[in-house]
Amino acid sequence: MSLEKEISTINETSALEYPTFRVPYEELNCKFRQGQKRMEMAGMAIKRFATALERRIGDAQDAIPVEKVKGAYKNLCSQVEELENALSETVGNEIELAERLQARIAYMDEQQDPSDDCPTSLIEWKNDRNRVARYSIWYLLRCGHFGTAKRMAESYKMKDIVDLDVFENCKKIEDSLRGGDTRLCLEWIELHRPKLKKMKSKLEMFVRQQDVVDLVSQKKILDALKYVRANITPQMRPDCQEELQTIMGIIGLSDYNNRFAELFSPVRWEKVGRMFVEELFLLYQLPFQSAFSLCLQCGLAAHKTPLCRRDDRSKKEIQCYVCDKDAWPIAEGLPNGHVSQSRILCSISGQLCDEKNVPFMLPSGRICGENVLAPLRVEDDLICDPETNQWVPAQQIQRLYFM
Ligand SMILES: [Zn+2]
């Protein structure tokens, strides 16, 4: 692989394609942990029931009545069945996710090194189109436009490349939190508990706090106390002392409505919803800005000059993408493009215009290098303008100088 190609791979793939592999990898991790836990529990239960069965049989020499061991044997069988199911489901899930990862690797490989005999420009165009489509789908998923994202993924055959289900689930949980329901979020926390613990996440504490607030506002003080005892484990306490104090304050103080007004307002549910999305992104190690908005900002910054200002004229009248009134709110805070050495490129061949290929300007305003202009000259003093297809006297073509 040439150096140029390697550099473009780093720029275009490694940095921005991160979510392509990170999300299924984390899902695989989660399914593996869940499967291990389920199998361990079934294994422990088998051990327990086997001991119970052994105890019942003892060292009896004579036949034992079926009734005596029936219950213990049934329990043992059900746990063996559970272990078998857990094993096949876990392996099935892991294979499915590994295949998803493999499919993505193959897809990215094909994007980098296409096997068909298309001309390079067509391949580049196809790859660019697919890349933009992928970034747009991620962006749509982040904004919660699942219907559009799904249709786009189907039409570009990218259903296996983007994680529709993960983002759909995220939106569902976020909406349920905003609606004051913590059930789905707590289920999600249970699934990802080991990873959240490693991240020292306080999400569970904040969600439980909302449950307590809910019970207290219904005047169910005793239920709130029971809820804290049952759900806030000693392991959670050292990292969340402050939050725990707040919870106990809500339960214990009669003027909780004044002291903790913020926790009782509907805005708090919105905040917890946002907090959940942030934690989910952290868990999957997804950047807070999508690849689409990063590319858009890079593109605008590259074009931005110190003279750029918001321009309210119509798009047809504006020459600059940055000054466009729709782009300006994004571009305003971005740095200006720093071009230390400007280069002039021939508008027809794309070759660099320098002392070996001096630039000229045709009356139509098109700038061409000498290399392209020479073959256009049919007669000594007439040149065919490629822009207008008209014959132009050579005297009207101006040599360009840049300072
Ligand atoms: Zn501008």
Per residue of the chain (403 residues), give pLDDT as tens. Answer: 443 444 444 445 456 777 788 888 888 988 898 899 999 999 999 999 888 888 878 777 777 777 777 888 888 899 999 999 999 999 999 999 999 889 888 888 877 766 566 667 777 777 778 888 988 998 998 888 888 999 999 998 888 888 888 888 999 999 999 998 999 999 999 989 888 888 888 899 899 989 988 888 888 888 888 988 888 877 777 777 788 888 888 888 777 667 777 888 888 999 999 999 999 988 988 888 888 888 899 889 988 888 888 988 887 777 788 889 999 999 999 988 876 666 777 878 778 888 888 888 888 888 888 888 877 776 667 888 877 778 888 888 888 877 6
What's the CA-to-centroid distance between 18 and ligand 1, angstroms?
32
- pTM for the whole structure: 0.67
What's the CA-to-centroid distance between 306 and ligand 1, angstroms?
8
What's the CA-to-centroid distance between 16 and ligand 1, angstroms?
27
Q: Is 154 exposed, middle or buried (0-12, 13-18, 19+ CB in 10 A)?
A: exposed
Residues in the chain: 403
Degrees to nearest 5, angle at CA 318 with 316 and 321? 110
What's the CA-to-centroid distance between 77 and ligand 1, angstroms?
75
The pLDDT score that the predictor gives to residue 141 is: 87
What's the CA-to-centroid distance between 324 and ligand 1, angstroms?
8
The pLDDT score that the predictor gives to residue 9 is: 46
Phi then psi dihedrals of residue 241, to 5 deg: -55, -45
What's the CA-to-centroid distance between 359 and ligand 1, angstroms?
25
What's the CA-to-centroid distance between 321 and ligand 1, angstroms?
6
What's the CA-to-centroid distance between 315 and ligand 1, angstroms?
12
What's the CA-to-centroid distance between 365 and ligand 1, angstroms?
20
CB 90 within 8 A of CB 37: no
* Pairing label, strands 398-399, 359-361: antiparallel
What's the CA-to-centroid distance between 336 and ligand 1, angstroms?
10
What's the CA-to-centroid distance between 310 and ligand 1, angstroms?
8
Q: How many CA atoms lie within 13 A of 193 on its CB side?
A: 11
Collapsed DSSP state (helix, strand, coil) of residue 297:
helix
Distances in whole angstroms, Cα of residue 340 to Cα of each of 37, 255, 331, 343, 356? 59, 64, 21, 10, 22
- Each as own residue / partner, the long-range contacts of residues 7-15 (CB below 8 Å, 24 or more positions apart, any chain) are 9/112, 12/131, 13/108, 13/111, 13/112
What's the CA-to-centroid distance between 339 and ligand 1, angstroms?
15
What's the CA-to-centroid distance between 128 and ligand 1, angstroms?
25
What's the CA-to-centroid distance between 312 and ligand 1, angstroms?
12
* Pairing label, strands 352-353, 344-345: antiparallel
What's the CA-to-centroid distance between 293 and ligand 1, angstroms?
19
Collapsed DSSP state (helix, strand, coil) of residue 152:
helix
The pLDDT score that the predictor gives to residue 115 is: 59
The pLDDT score that the predictor gives to residue 217 is: 85
What's the CA-to-centroid distance between 292 and ligand 1, angstroms?
21
Measured CA to CA, the distance from residue 220 to residue 230 in angstroms comes to 15
What's the CA-to-centroid distance between 331 and ligand 1, angstroms?
10
CB 164 within 8 A of CB 259: no
Measured CA to CA, the distance from residue 369 to residue 351 in angstroms comes to 8
The pLDDT score that the predictor gives to residue 4 is: 43
120-143 helix and 164-178 helix, angle to the nearest 10 degrees: 20
